[in-house]
Structures are given as C-alpha cells and as structure tokens.
C-alpha cells in the first residue's frame, strides 16, 4: 500500500472509530439516565412524565397524549410560519412587509406555544405529590448543572 493510500485509510479508520464512539456514548448515556428509547410522551412535558411513579404515569397517560395533540397543532403553526418566512426570504425581490408579516406570525405562534406549554406544565405540577415535585426539582437542578 502506498504512503498516500495508507494515510487515507488511517483517516477513514479514525473517523469511523470516532462516529462509533459517539453513538456508543449516546446509548450509554441514555441507559444511565434511564430515559426510554421511545417515550409515549415526547419532549415538552416528557421530562415531568418520567419523574412520576409508574402508576401515576399510567393514570395520566391519556391526558398527556391529549396535551401532545394540542401542542402538535401549535407546532404545525410554527413550522408553517417558518416556511412562509423562508419562502419570502428566497424571493428574488425582498418584500419587507411580507417578511415582517411572516416574522409576526412566527412570533405569535411561538408565544402561543410557550404559553400553552407553561399552562400544561402548571396543570401537571399541581397534580404531583411532594416526593414527585422533589424529583422534578432534582431533574431541573441536574439539567441546569449540565448533568444531562
């Protein structure tokens, strides 16, 4: 093998090893943090859901799923507003009013989403017992300290 081919082979080998180690690290991290690979409750409120005891998770599952459907509708509005802005941005002649309107729609949709998430979070937190609230607080503390 010539020197150039050997060097290229080594670079490819190192890149492959790096990618594999990153994937392995992600899997180990997920396992150690006990986060299921597929959660019935995604991101927005899933962090609260995973702090609950199994019995309470089972009892609240349908409520969480209903809340997810409501949030999904709002997220769709955000994506549509983002697409409107991107389409306006790609026009050969920029139209300031169209760009501003798209940004206004995006801001309103984002604020609506945040308000809904805060409302849902408050509704759920009010249903937690002191032990569950302590687990939520610990989760937030670890997250803020870079533990996640």
Asked if 99 and 91 touch (Cβ cutoff 8 Å), the reply is no
Read off the pTM: 0.58
Please list the pLDDT of the chain residue by residue as tens digits (148 residues).
Answer: 567 777 777 788 787 778 877 777 777 766 666 544 444 444 566 777 777 778 888 887 887 778 778 888 888 999 999 999 999 999 999 999 999 999 999 999 999 988 988 888 888 888 888 988 888 888 888 877 765 5
């Amino acid at each position: 093998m010539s020197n150039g081919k050997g060097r290229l082979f080594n670079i490819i080998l190192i890149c492959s090893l790096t990618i594999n180690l990153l994937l392995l690290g992600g899997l180990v991290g997920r396992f150690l943090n006990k986060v299921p690979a597929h959660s019935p409750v995604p991101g927005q409120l899933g962090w609260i859901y995973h702090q609950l005891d199994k019995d309470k998770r089972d009892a609240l599952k349908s409520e969480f799923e209903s809340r997810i459907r409501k949030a999904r509708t709002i997220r769709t509005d955000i994506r549509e507003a983002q697409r409107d802005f991107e389409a306006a941005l790609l026009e050969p002649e920029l139209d300031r009013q169209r760009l501003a309107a798209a940004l206004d729609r995006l801001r309103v949709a984002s604020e609506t989403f945040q308000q809904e998430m805060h409302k849902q979070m408050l509704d759920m937190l009010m249903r937690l017992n002191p032990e569950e609230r302590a687990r939520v607080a610990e989760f937030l503390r670890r997250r803020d300290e870079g533990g996640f």
